[in-house]
Chains A and B, each alone.
Chain A
Amino acid sequence: MRADASSPTLGWNLARDASQLFEYHFMINALLAGSVVAVMAGLVGWMMVLRRETFAGHTLAMMAFPGASGAALAGVPAAWGYFAFCGAGALAIGRFSGTRRRSWSERSANTGAVQALALATGFLFVSLYGGVLGDLESLLFGNLLGVSDGQLLALSGVAAVAVAALAALARPLLFASLDGEAAAARGVPVRALSIAFLALLGLAVAATSQITGVMLVFALLVTPAASAQALTTRPALSLAITVALGLVVVWLGLGISYYSVYPAGFFITVISFAIYLLARLLAAALGRRSREAGPARLASAPRGSVIS
């Protein structure tokens, strides 16, 4: 697939074409940063998709706007603003919506309110700043090709922390996500885990959006995880597929953009979407086959009860 996608415009020697990718330092940094992001965003995104907190993830990505504009206003590096606002946003969403009795729709309404407030704050910062936000384009679409060694190091550190934290929380978090009441009865701190996961999500989103930009965060956060979950129900395999798809998406996107005039972010998103589409089609086909093979089953419980 990789070869098919990139070979037509290139020479016949694929090994030489591939090795060209590594000739420039910025390209090596881009590939490394993209890989780090793919692994972290994939793993955190897998849990996010399972917990149905995609909208919270989206809201946290939006936090990059007040983050970047606030940082510009305060004269500090944009990354500080990203992390500060994503962290604050995670706590706000967790605080407002973490209680056990809230319904799903109420929680998403709360999350929407937090998002609106964040964008308004960002707007205020921009008008206070007075000027045009310098890296508006990189804020929105990232600058994968301009990752410095320092950024790469910081990103790797954040990713290591995020993945280690997720691994430590994984099992109780899964239990709490699927079955909060049973988990609480077994002593799992459901509410604390919910806030901890949002903080982790904020961390991953802040780090990811610096590389892929706010608009493209979901290409790496949602689609590989959603594709993998469509394809398999085995948790370990599903996680492995998520990471593999994320890596393929980043490498292919960067590889194609290297030989093209269009930006990497565009290719990463398009490939990621195409993979998601394929995964859904494949899952539908597999599902139909297994339904035809197995005995017919009702999709949900018959609700009848003659008494009452």
Chain B
Amino acid sequence: MMTAPQRARSGGAKPAAELHADRSPAPPEAAIDVRDASVRVGGRTILSELSLTVARGEFVALLGANGAGKSTLLKALLGLLPSAAGTLSVLGRPPGEANREIGYLPQRRAFDSSVRLRGSDIVQLGLDGDRWGVPLPVRWGRLGARARSGRAQVWRAIEMVGASAYAHRPIGELSGGEQQRLLIAQALVRRPGLLLLDEPLDSLDLPNQAAVAALVAKICREHEVAVLLVAHDVNPLLPYLDRVAYLAAGRGVEGAVEHVINGATLSELYGVPIEVLRTSDGRLVVVGQPEAPAHHHDRHLLGGGARDRHAR
């Protein structure tokens, strides 16, 4: 069930929702520009003729039911999955070529208590984890200076997500919200131009969902990072979003919140009658989605722990 408060930011000033038919050409500074892209996985078409634009510094949520292709789209943007048709451009380059400037947070991973490394080590991997060799314990000269500036960068990222108080503790002993903040710091540590966050709010409790959403919004504004955030529940994000993109059955709609999450647009997207109700506290509730959304919050928790990482 999709709920959404009406207090969406004034992102409504942006172009109204359209079924990606007559879009003007994306500005050259677009962080993400997807045009008529199709992605097939194992012979099955997951996304077809999808178009999506995220401008630099923009905060966009990617919504949709399970299996709608949200994670697939992120992987295609990273070049981890090839696109079958259409064009994808990320930070002005083809997918996969700008990955060093993208902070990617894969779908929910929990470190279980047997992982004996500090939170700051996990963040450090985001900085230089792809570099071969081991850091030498040198404290002088060029190498020492590089190590110092690397450490400073790691701690800046940790401070940005407000995790300084527990970053020195073993990651497996931290709560889900604390782990998620450190993983966002890992995605942020190289000062990326684009954050691709795959369900960062999933499996967090409500106060933590609100806090992480506010954190991502703050990073987006203060550091001018474009954010494409995958979510099931748009509710905690709505105060901050510029626009939303809604995926269903491989197709998508993008636009301002109130132009996308309404009965007419969603009915057309899904091809079945859909109602959007407004609760007294201003939330929107989507009724009539073909896919039963009851197990959203369970599927990434089964078995818990890091061994779940490879399960899907």
Chain A residues with a Cβ under 8 A of chain B: 50, 52, 100-105, 107, 167-172, 174-175, 178-188, 229-230, 232-236, 238, 297-308
B137's closest neighbor in chain A, by CB? Answer: A236
Residues of A within 8 A of B72 (CB): none
Q: Are B133 and A175 in contact (CB under 8 A)?
A: no
**Would you call A301 and B176 a contact (CB within 8 A)?**
yes
How many whole Å from B200's CB to the nearest CB in chain A?
12
How distant is the Cα of A160 from the Cα of B304 in the complex, in angstroms?
39
Stretch of B101-109, B156-164, B219-227 that contacts chain A: B101-109
Q: A185-B78, A305-B205 in contact; A103/B133 too (CB < 8 A)?
A: no
Determine if B1 and A307 form an interchain contact, defined as CB atoms under 8 angstroms apart.
yes
List residues of chain B with CB within 8 A of the CB of A107: 310
Q: Mark B170-193, 1 if CB is under 8 A from A, else 0.
A: 100111111100000011000000
Number of A-B contacts (CB under 8 A): 150
Additional A-B contacts beyond A178-B122, A185-B78 (18; CB < 8 A): A50-B117, A101-B312, A104-B310, A167-B134, A171-B133, A171-B135, A172-B130, A175-B125, A175-B130, A181-B106, A181-B309, A182-B106, A186-B99, A233-B118, A235-B121, A297-B175, A301-B177, A307-B3
Of B8-16, B25-33, B247-255, B290-298, the stretch lying at the interface with chain A is B290-298
- Does the CB pair A307–B186 fall under 8 Å? no
B: residues with CB less than 8 A from A are 1, 3, 78, 80, 99-100, 102, 104-107, 109-111, 113-118, 121-122, 125-126, 128-135, 137, 166, 169-170, 173-179, 186-187, 203-206, 208-209, 232-233, 235, 293-294, 296-297, 301, 304, 306-307, 309-312
Q: Indicate whether A300 sits within 8 Å of B175 (C-beta atoms), given known contacts A171-B128, A171-B129, A179-B109.
A: yes
- Whether the Cβ atoms of A301 and B1 lie closer than 8 Å is no
- For chain B, what secondary structure do more than half of its interface residues adopt (helix, strand, loop), or is it mixed? loop
Q: Are A303 and B203 in contact (CB under 8 A)?
A: yes
Task: Look across to chain A and name the residue whose beta carbon is closest to the beta carbon of B283.
Answer: A307
B110 touches A182 (CB 8 A): no
